[in-house]
Structure 1
Amino acid sequence: MAVIAAFVVNAVMNLALGLLIAQILGPADFGRFALGTAGAVALNTLLFEWLRLSATRFYSERVRQAEPWIRGMLDRAYLATVIGLVGAALLALAGRPLVGDPALLAGAAAAAAIGLGLFDYAAALARARFVGGLYLRLVLVKNGLTLPLMVGTAWATADAAAVMLAGGLSQFLAALLVRRAFADPPIAHETAERQTAERRNALKLFMGYGLPIVAANLVYQLMPFANRWAVAAAAGFAEAGYFSLAADIGGRIFSTLGAALDLLLFQIAVLAAETHGHEAGEEQVARNGAVVVALILPSAAGFWALAPALEAIAVPEAFRGHFVTYTLLLLPGLVALALMNFALNPIFQIRRRTLPLVAAGVVGALVNLVGALALAKPFGPHGIAAAQSLGFLAAMLFLGLRALTGPGRLRLPWRDLAAVVLATAAMTAAILPLRGLGPWLALPACIVVGGLVYAALLWRFDIAGLRTAVLARFGRAVPAE
């Protein structure tokens, strides 16, 4: 429950933070901030993501006690990467007199990536040990620092690079402030030869597992980054700001929802595989996929229905009139990306066969590129947004075919998936008439009515086994009808 509480807090704070920074900076500077932030995320993915993935997949409470050298190796790898990235940031800043603002944004992105990488690594260590209270403390400290530092910096400087630096600093400080709680037992003295052999074998395993995932995730980060630059080049930074706010708000909602589940579900699958064998791990991944779809699909329908009311109530005035249009174009792709990350990718992760993720990323990037070239001229920036969705949808379909067809296909609970689709359709039909109300009435009415309809169907038919899980956790379990 502490993990779920942490993600609720994180989701609310991230949403509020994005809207506040957009309000203070305005469309043009927010566009610069969004471009720089996308660069920081891409750098974090390229340089630090393998650490997070390795911790999530190969670190546990058992490993912490029996093989503490694994954590020591990961810590040293993080430190070495930071040293290299600091050097790159200093070089970028040194080039500012020649290049101008892009060098400053690049330097700020490198610095922000250091903080983001340390925070994600610390969060992964807490996940792997199932220490929900520690994870909650980390998130609370981070948000307690992020809001005043980033908003205060935006207010004082109105500078995109300075706000990025404040964001990276807040995450770096949060991880440092709780570092003692992450400490492992001291590493026992071993011969240098054995330590070297163990590290070499572990690095080969971690790299073979993590690098394909990193490559795929990097492609998925570079696609929006390139699209934002294309929008800025075609229509200016203000238009890139409109595009970025819709992409960031929608992306944060779905990534937060999916990650909240993934924090628990993937570790349960890893534990099942470690305890009961590979087949048990795959069965758990299949059940996990149904749970992810049961959350993401109705959330997407609800977000689509609520977008006009959300724009009228919460979106800064300078962005209104653009937010809903970009949201509707980007939404299919954001949903596809969430389903890939949290329902399909774990299939290949539990098998330790992650190369298909790279192929899916390449397919998505090619479709995005072709779509942008075909749609940008007749439809302008809106065509680029549509091309991004087409790219993510193509990648999801490719990965789904690889996972769910052939002799080694995963057997999904199709009854549950069909029930999710029907329940989501019923929920959407119930809230459609409410969209025409005034924004302050439509927002709560859609949330209450849609939530009640979907929850009732979920409970009545025990979709994805969620009723059984709730009763097992909080009361006496009964058989599904």
Structure 2
Amino acid sequence: MAVIAAFVVNAVLNLALGLLIAQILGPADFGRFALGTAGAVVLTIMLFEWLRLSATRFYSARVRDTEPWIRAMLDRAYAATALGLAGAAVLLLAGHPLVGEPALLAAAAAGAAVGIGLFDYQAALARARFVGGLYLRLVLIKNGLALVLMVGTAWATADAAAVMLAGGLSQLFAALLIRRALADPPIPHGADRRRDALRLFMAYGLPVVAANVIYQLMPFANRWAIAAAAGFAEAGYFSLAADIGARLFSTLGAALDLLLFQIAVLAAETHGREAGEAQVARNGAVVLALLLPSAAGFWAVAPALDAIAVPAAYRGHFVDYTLLLIPGLVALALMNFALNPVFQIRRRTLPLIAAGGVGALVNLVAALALARPFGPHGIAAAQSLGLLAAMLVLGFRALTGPGRLRMPWRDPAAVVLATAAMTVAILPLRGLDPWLALPACVAVGGLVYGGLVWRFDIAGLRAAVVARFGRAVPAEQGLEDPMSS
């Protein structure tokens, strides 16, 4: 339950924080902030992501005691990378008088990436050891610091680079405050074992990193293209819709992944690869069962959110961009949290690069074709087309051929049908007054979809709930919750 609580807190505070920053900075400066933040995310993925992935795949409570060189190599690699990136930030800051605003934004992005990378590392360690309470504490500290530092900096300076740096510092301070609780006792080991661990991490993680960099460069390039063609204010409109949607789906997917992938790793360690893959298949059904209705619900309430919560300067633009971006954001979340784990559990991650390459090519061709007739909205549509193409390529690779993942199709079909029924039920409610439409869509959609899930035990969710809170259910019918403490 601690993981679920962390998800709820993180989702609500991230949404509130994004809207507050957008309101204070205004569209043009928020566009600069969003571009710089996208750059920080790209840097984080390029430099830290392979280590975070290695922590979630190769570190555990058992490894903590029996293979201490794994954690030692992770710590050293993180420290070296963080120091190098901090040095680069200082050099970029020194070049600000000569280069101007781009150097300042780049320096802030590099500094923010240090904080993001170290926070993600601590979160990955908590996840790998199934210490849900500690993970919740880490999330609460980070969000509290971010709310104070980022909003305060925005009010005081109205400077995009300063707000970015404040966001990075909030994550860095949270990681440092929780570091001792996640520390390992020093156990002697040979340097050769650390080198072996480094080679293992790179072979496993770098293909995933390459694919993720492509997926992050796509929106980064699209934002720059919109800014160049229509100005920073238009990039700000695009970025608010993209950021809120991405946070919604990535936070929901990450909350599931925090638990589900570690269960698959534990199954593979305990019972072999086939057991791990079977768990990954069950996990994929659960991810789809929660992401797809969330997407339909977000589409339904977007006009109400636009009227109630979105700052006045962004209204109208938010709905237009959100409707174009939702398909791609859902596709990206399904890749990250349902399809990528298929290849991660097998330690064969090269297909992720091919899928990312196809997605980037489709994004580029579609943007060139759609930008002239449809302007910035054509670029937003191109982003969704690119991500959908990548998902189809990766899904085809995972679910077909002799080595395909064995997944029963009952659950995905049931999810699609239940989501369709929910959408039909809430469609007439979109036209109500926004203050009525929002709660009505949430209540009716939740009742319809939740009722169908309960009646037909879609993705085993009813069995999981009963196993956790009610009468005993056989283990294979439900999901265990090792992070409930």
What's the TM-score, normalizing by structure 1? 0.98
The residue aligned with 1:385 is 380
1:354 equivalenced with 2:341 (yes/no): no
Letter paired with 1:2: A
Matched, 1:373 2:368: yes
Letter in structure 1 aligned against 2:85: L
Provide the C-alpha distance between the structure 1 equivalents of 2:14 and 2:73, rounded to a whole number of angstroms.
32
Equivalent pair of 1:468/1:477 in contact (CA under 8 Å): no
Partner of 1:45: 45
Deviation at 1:254, TM superposition (A): 0.2
Give the secondary structure class of the aligned counterpart of 1:476.
coil
Deviation of 1:413 (Å): 2.1
**Are 2:447 and 1:452 equivalent residues in the alignment?**
yes
Where 1:256 maps in the other structure, the secondary structure is helix
Does the residue aligned with 2:407 lie in a helix, a strand or coil? Answer: coil
1:83 Cα offset (Å): 1.6
1:408 aligns with 2:406: no
1:252-331 alignment, distance < 5 Å: 252-331=247-326
Name the counterpart of 1:10. 10
Aligned equivalent of 2:183? 183
C-alpha distance after superposition, 1:152-179 (max 9, x if no partner): 0000000000000100000000011111
How far off is 1:68 after superposition? 1.8
Question: For residues 150 and 465 of structure 2, what CA distance do their matches in structure 1 show?
Answer: 38
Give the conservation status (yes or no) of the 8 Å contact 1:290–1:413: no
Give the alignment of 1:35-434 within 5 angstroms.
35-188=35-188, 190=189, 195-434=190-429
Please give the secondary structure, in 1, of the residue aligned with 2:137. helix
Give, as a single letter, the amino acid of the residue that structure 1 aligns with 2:244. I
CA displacement, residues 131-150 of structure 1 (integer Å, 9 cap, x when unaligned):
00010110111111110100
Residues 1:471 and 2:481 aligned together: no
* In structure 1, distance between residues paired with 2:426 and 2:120: 37
CA positional deviation for 1:427: 0.5
Q: For 1:477 and 1:230, how far apart are their aligned partners in 2?
A: 55
Mean alpha-carbon deviation: is it higher for 143-152 or for 83-92? Answer: 83-92
The answer to whether the 8 Å contact 1:333/1:388 transfers is yes
**Aligned mates of 1:336, 1:413 — CA distance in 2:** 20
Gaps of at least 5 residues in structure 1 are: none
Aligned pairs, number:
475
Cα shift at 1:478 = 5.7
State the Cα distance separating 1:196 from its structure 2 match: 2.5
Counterpart CA distance in 1 for 2:209 and 2:52 is: 10
Cα displacement (A) at 1:7:
1.1
RMSD: 0.9
Amino acid at match of 1:404: L
**Are the aligned partners of 1:36 and 1:161 in contact in 2 as well (CA < 8 Å)?**
yes
Contact 2:69 2:197 in 1 (8 A): no
Q: What CA distance in whole angstroms lies between the structure 2 residues aligned with 1:175 and 1:77?
A: 16
Measured after TM superposition, the shift of residue 98 of structure 1 is: 2.0
* Counterpart Cα distance in 1 of 2:382 and 2:210: 21
Q: Please give the per-residue CA displacement for 1:103-130, whole angstroms capped at 9, x wherever unaligned.
A: 0000000000000000000000000000
Amino acid across the alignment from 1:183: A
Deviations 1:189-228 (A, max 9, x none): x4xxxx2321121111110000000010011111000000
1:281 and 1:350 in contact (8 A); partners too: yes
Displacement after TM superposition at 1:245 (Å)? 0.2
Deviations 1:442-473 (A, max 9, x none): 00000000001100000000000111111111
In 2, Cα distance between equivalents of 1:2 and 1:272: 22
Question: Partner of 1:57: helix, strand, or coil?
Answer: helix
Give the aligned residue type for 1:251.
A
Aligned amino acid, residue 249 of structure 1? I
Report the alpha carbon displacement of residue 69 of structure 1 after superposing the two structures with TM.
2.0
C-alpha distance in structure 1 between counterparts of 2:268 and 2:230, whole Å: 51
Secondary structure at 2:184 match in 1:
coil
Structure 2 CA distance for aligned equivalents of residues 360 and 316 of structure 1: 37
- Tell me the distance in 2 between the aligned counterparts of 1:478 and 1:102: 58
Measured in 2, the distance between the counterparts of 1:318 and 1:29 equals: 12
Using the alignment, how far apart are the partners of 2:82 and 2:428 within structure 1?
53
Give the aligned residue type for 1:97: P
Preserved CA contact (<8 Å) 2:85 2:114: yes
SS in 2 for 1:354: coil
Question: Which runs of at least 4 in structure 1 moved beyond 3 Å after TM superposition?
Answer: 477-480
For residues 385 and 232 of structure 1, the distance between their equivalents in structure 2, rounded to whole angstroms, comes to: 13
Cα distance in 1 between the residues matched to 2:200 and 2:318: 44
Deviation for aligned residue 1:92: 1.2
| Deviation of the 1:395 alpha carbon | 0.3
Structure 1 letter corresponding to 2:219: P
- Deviations along 1:236-281, one digit per CA (max 9) or x if unpaired, are 0000000000000000000011001000000000000000000000
- Give 1:438's match in structure 2, choosing from 423, 433, 450: 433
Q: How far 1:412 sits from its partner (Å)?
A: 1.3
CA distance in 1, matches of 2:87, 2:260: 38
TM-score calculated relative to the size of structure 2: 0.97
Alpha-carbon distance in 2 for matches of 1:435, 1:235: 31
Q: Give the percent of matched residue pairs that are identical in Structure 1 and Structure 2.
A: 84
Say which SS state the counterpart of residue 164 (structure 2) adopts. Answer: helix
- How far the C-alpha of 1:477 sits from its partner, in A, is 3.9
2:370, 2:382 within 8 Å by CA — same for their partners in 1?
Answer: yes
> SS of 1:409's equivalent?
coil
